A and B are shown apart, each in its own frame.
Chain A
Amino acid sequence: MKILISNGRLIDPANQRDEISDILIDKGKIAAIAKPGRIPKQDTDGAKVIDATDQIVAPGFIDMHVHFREPGFEYKETIETGCQSAAAGGFTTVAMMPNTHPVNDNRSVTEFMLSQAKAHGVVNVLSIGAVSVGLQGEKLTDMGDLKTAGVVAYSDDGHPVMNNELMRRALEYSKMFDLPIIQHCEVLDLTAGGCMNESRVSTELGLKGMPTEGEDIMVYRDIALLEKTGGRVHVAHISSAQSVDLVRQAKAKGLAVTCEVAPHHFSLTDEAVRGYDTNSKMSPPLREQKDVAAIKQGLQDGTIDMIATDHAPHDLADKQMDYQSACFGIVGLETALPLTLKLIDEKVITLPQMVALFTAQPAEIFKLDKGNLAVGKDADVVVFDPQVEYNIDVQKFKSKSKNSPFHGWPVKGRVTHTLVMGKIVHTSNS
């Protein structure tokens, strides 16, 4: 079926495009792009028309960090519901972390996840394989076999690779397959038992803190190793000012280091933990104002390459408990766009920069043939109204889980249409 997205502001950083355009989609691909009304009538005949007047049209967003909990924890999220949540948030490609049960540390699990995605998922689903068997940090996985099965990166995510020797070998070994290692940077002996950022607030609340040095030391270690070994390191959900600086310095040296930030780390500080709302508990934890400022600086100057949500669904029972015992993590796919749009109002980044952070930059770093709306490319498209105002309501989330600290927040900006391979997978009234 043909679809004509008419009269929207097309922002496509991969092709340096930012102008009011009509876009014709046919057979799952971008068929034509022209100024409004300029695509020949015979080409648009019979096309379903999406009127994108006053809206932004962009490549579908890419999120390189989601937890879809299948297999193992389907009561929190499944690949099917996770994909619906992604589509509602404007994401057309997501990469699943391997901390499932069983762990995605071998090709049969990868193949299962990707086949579930193919059968039930409405967006493109990518898989990230484990660095070590069982995320135990002891023995490397069959990285080659995992790549054959389809993984696009390796990560032990929430179980960071603590052993320095193993990390060195993982960087060396992964070079054969030219895939990056995504590191959740946290030196576990410094954060053991911690449940929030270490700060004046943790002292007042009597909660065990997780100091930023826990993150910084591992960021530095990985950079130091990489300098010798080569390979590629991608720092997951960067949260501390010092870590942003370390990545900036490594990039200046020309090292293959990239990083992502999650919207909550530039939207909230550890002040949100007051009152012990367990939806403010995530890892890395919410930091201080100086860290938020450094992250914004990093987004502005290009140190931070992409926005990733670390979508981490947990059901009520895993969150409705004492702060110390509650699970880490929040859902993120359906709040990422409005939270990031705030950065444009604050003049931290421009709208085209935001789109690049969500599309062209992750595509380039992870070598995905996505995030690009040139003629002939896959028609993964998001249409959003950046002005519409509303309050975030977790009950309206498509995700199975509702664990978000942003419930009730007044925000601007909502996805009105999400298209994957030329098919409309999500619509909402602006």
Chain B
Amino acid sequence: MTLANRDILSIQDLADEDIEAILDTATSLKEISTRKIKKVPTLRGRTIINLFFEPSTRTRTSFEIAGKRLSADVINISASTSSATKGESLLDTAYNLEAMNPDILVIRHGSSGVPQMIASHIKCPVINAGDGAHEHPTQALLDLLTIRERHKTLTGLKVVIVGDIAHSRVARSNILAMRKMGMVVTVVGPPTMIPVGMAQLGVSIHYNLEEALRDVDVIMMLRIQLERQSQGLFSSFREYSSLYCLTAEKLKNASKQVMIMHPGPVNRGVEISLDILEGPHSVVLEQVHNGVAVRMALLYLLLEGGNEDSN
């Protein structure tokens, strides 16, 4: 199996079969992480550079572990230790890293479009690990895997994504991926956080959380950032929570099989009440767990996908 594109910058770079292949491969690779010796030699001698211009715990660690479990050499560079602080331009940094012959560059940046820009200038394949408010494709893939595991299917499932849609790359990648897989998506949040043109992306828009939760299969909560308050996008955490915090009360109309997701980090008690976060519907830690498998699958398919002998 070879992926349609050598760079994974957006969910749009993936064909429907690519997504299926990544999820299937991830499923088969999950077993490695349960072994006592959590390592296979598949990517021995390969070099993966994680270039992170924005803080990250989950995603960076997940990519690092994924690479290491496949025996690749993984190098982590964060903006504070790179030349970014010396004023070296983004492209210069990329050219210099490329000169050391990595096999994959994993990039996170706070500004939308940076992985695209770098990928268009270098030959080394690039994986987008989150760029600004644009996309976070590997998050969407691990979310799909988590949903598929619970519901055994994707097609026809009803999903609500709740919160700051405007600033969320997780929401954008998930909307694209879920629509591709035939899921029905509703976004819920204050109108200040629903960006222009959302309806044209094929999703419904709702402002009332409790009503929107009726009959849904999946609830995806997004992180709310305090700085949005000063931008006038909501009045206070207190009011935001009263409207959009996922509580047992708001869930009373939801289906018994509903699953609750959050990409993290969670503002406990703001987006989700503690009992719900730790309750039986929550799959937050399964998401993190599946992140490793999905990234292993992606690294494998990008680097060895066309090479059947390596299997």
- The interface residues of chain B lying within 8 Å CB-to-CB of A207 are 112-113, 132-134
Let me know if A276 is at the binding interface, CB within 8 A. Answer: yes
Question: What is the minimal beta-carbon distance from B194 to any residue of chain A, in angstroms?
Answer: 9
Of the candidates B90, B117, B120, B197, the one whose C-beta lies within 8 Å of that of A203 is B197
Q: Are B117 and A276 in contact (CB under 8 A)?
A: yes
Cβ of B82 to closest chain A Cβ, rounded Å: 15
A322 within 8 A of B: yes
Are B91 and A276 in contact, with the CB atoms below 8 A? Answer: no
Choose, from A70-78, A194-202, A341-349, the stretch at the interface.
A194-202
Does B75 sit at the interface, judged by CB under 8 A? no
Interface residue? B200 (CB, 8 A):
yes
Interface size on B, residues (CB 8 A): 25
Chain B residues near A384 (CB-CB < 8 A)? none
CB of A275 within 8 A of chain B? yes
A320→B109 CA distance, assembly (Å): 16
Taking the nearest CB of chain B, how far is it from the CB of A280, in angstroms?
11
Partner of B112, one of A199, A205, A317, A321: A205
Q: How far is the CA of A325 from the CA of B197 in the complex (A)?
A: 24
CB within 8 Å of A: which of B85-101?
Answer: 89-91
Tell me the bound Cα distance from A92 to B83 in angstroms.
46
Q: Does B68 make an interface contact (CB < 8 A)?
A: no
Question: Shortest beta-carbon distance, B248 to chain A, in Å?
Answer: 33
A205, B113: Cβ atoms under 8 Å? yes
Most B-side CB within 10 Å, residue of A199, A201, A204, A209 = A204
A333 to B120, CA, bound (A): 28
Q: Which residues of A from 340 to 368 have beta carbons under 8 Å from B? A: none
The digit string for A171-214, where 1 denotes a CB below 8 A from any CB of B, is 00000000000000000000000000011111111110101000
Q: With A and B bound together, what is the CA distance between A200 and B194 in angstroms?
A: 12
Q: Are B196 and A206 in contact (CB under 8 A)?
A: no
Q: With a CB–CB cut-off of 8 A, which chain A residues contact B116?
A: 275-276
Is A300 on the interface with B (CB-CB < 8 A)? no
Question: B196 to A322, Cβ gap below 8 A?
Answer: no
The yes or no answer to B114 lying at the interface (CB within 8 A) is: yes
Interface residues of B in 101-115 (CB under 8 A from A): 109, 111-114
Asked if B197 and A200 sit within 8 Å, CB to CB, the answer is: yes
Q: Is the CB of A204 within 8 A of B91?
A: no
Instruction: Tell me if A323 is interfacial: C-beta within 8 Å of chain B.
Output: yes
Q: Are A276 and B201 in contact (CB under 8 A)?
A: no
B112–A323 CB distance below 8 A: yes
**Interchain CB contact under 8 A, A209 and B113:** no
Chain A interface main SS type: loop
Contact with B along A313-333 (1 / 0, CB 8 A): 000010011111100000000
Q: Are B196 and A198 in contact (CB under 8 A)?
A: yes
Cα A201 to Cα B117 with chains together (Å): 17
Smallest Cβ distance from B113 to chain A, in angstroms? 3
Selected contact of A276 from candidates B89, B113, B166, B200, CB within 8 Å:
B113
Find chain A residues with CB under 8 A from B223 CB. none
A289-328 vs B, Cβ < 8 Å mask (1 yes, 0 no): 0000000000000000000000000000100111111000
- Interface positions of B (Cβ within 8 A of A): 89-91, 109, 111-114, 116-117, 120, 131-135, 166, 169, 172, 195-198, 200-201
A-B contact pairs, 30 of them (CB 8 A): A198-B196, A199-B196, A199-B197, A201-B197, A202-B195, A203-B196, A203-B197, A203-B201, A204-B201, A205-B113, A205-B134, A206-B112, A206-B113, A206-B132, A206-B133, A206-B135, A207-B132, A209-B196, A275-B116, A276-B113, A320-B89, A321-B90, A322-B90, A322-B112, A322-B117, A323-B112, A323-B113, A323-B117, A324-B112, A325-B111
What 10 pairs across the A-B complex have the smallest Cβ distances? Answer: A200-B197, A206-B134, A276-B113, A206-B133, A322-B111, A206-B112, A203-B195, A324-B111, A203-B197, A323-B113
Extra 5 A-B pairs, beta carbons < 8 Å, given A207-B132, A322-B90: A203-B166, A204-B201, A205-B112, A321-B89, A322-B111
